[in-house]
Amino acid sequence: MPEDFAYDDADESIMTGEAVALDLRPTSFVLAAAGAAIDWVLYFVGGTLFILFCIQVPLALSPLGQDSATVAAISLVSEVLVIVIIPAVVELLSRGKSLGRLAVGARIVRDDGGAIGFRHAFIRSLVAVLEIFMLFGGLAALVGLLNGKSKRLGDYLAGTYSQYERVGKYQPFVFGVPTELVAWAATADVARLPDRVARRITQFLRQSAKLTPYTRDQLGRQLAAEASAWVAPIPPVNAELFLAGVVALRRDREFAGLMLEDERLSHLDAALTGVPHDFARDESGARPK
């Protein structure tokens, strides 16, 4: 393993009260912007039609005619309803979803990963009046580009972010521990490797044959640098061979752990479903109710 391997990646996982790391992925800036654009186009079109309806119908039936004060009051109430109340209600009832977020596979959640409440949805909708409507989305885009979770100003004030929920189709990993690393695998520690890093390594190994030699070497070195912070000891092999050994060993040990747990549960099955010796039974052999 080259000596210039280093780990320089911020850990964005969330720790629960039981010290369990939750691997929650924030929505990328492009997908978050696309979802927001879909939502606000729908709100704008629907809101415009709603405001016109609210103004024209009452005034057409009113004997007072086109009263400018009445028109202004109805317009203001309708605008507040469309750009603040309705988006907040949609987020609250759908638990962070909307039509645009359904399209991109995103959901608004709290910073701790929990479902949002009325306060979170209302703050986001209220701040959106400034950063999206009044500034044409410029402030939201600027703030989203300057942070790793693509959070806009409303997210910072509400304590929320957009979580990406869409998971790709599972494909079983077929690589085994390389022959050169069999002795290393007997004592290596790979349990601390985060799921997000393991997924990127697995994807790289599946697609490495389609990459150019230079790109393959560079990506392999970058991933090996990340993985080396969570693996001990580091074997003296090239980056791609190291990655193949790490993910294969991690998979094999997790599978062995699951099999051991299943075996232990099967041994407890008799104790959990059986009855004490000489316990009363009916003629069919079943326990009396």
Tokens of 155: 């997210």
Report yes or no: 127 and 93 within 8 Å, Cβ to Cβ.
Answer: no
pLDDT value at 35 more than 60? yes
pTM score of the predicted model: 0.53
pLDDT value at 221 more than 80? yes
pLDDT value at 289 more than 60? no
CB atoms within 10 A of CB 250: 23
Q: pLDDT value at position 70?
A: 67
Q: pLDDT value at position 277?
A: 55
Residue with the two structure tokens 């002795």: 183
Share of the chain above pLDDT 70, in %: 75
Q: Which of 20-24, 33-37, 275-279 has the highest mean pLDDT?
A: 33-37
Mean pLDDT of the chain: 78
Q: pLDDT value at position 252?
A: 86
Distances (CA, A) of 269 to 9, 82, 128: 45, 58, 56
Q: pLDDT value at position 6?
A: 36
pLDDT value at 3 more than 80? no
Taking alpha carbons only, the member of 143, 120, 149, 152 closest to residue 40 is 152
CA 142 to chain centre: 22
pLDDT value at 177 more than 50? yes
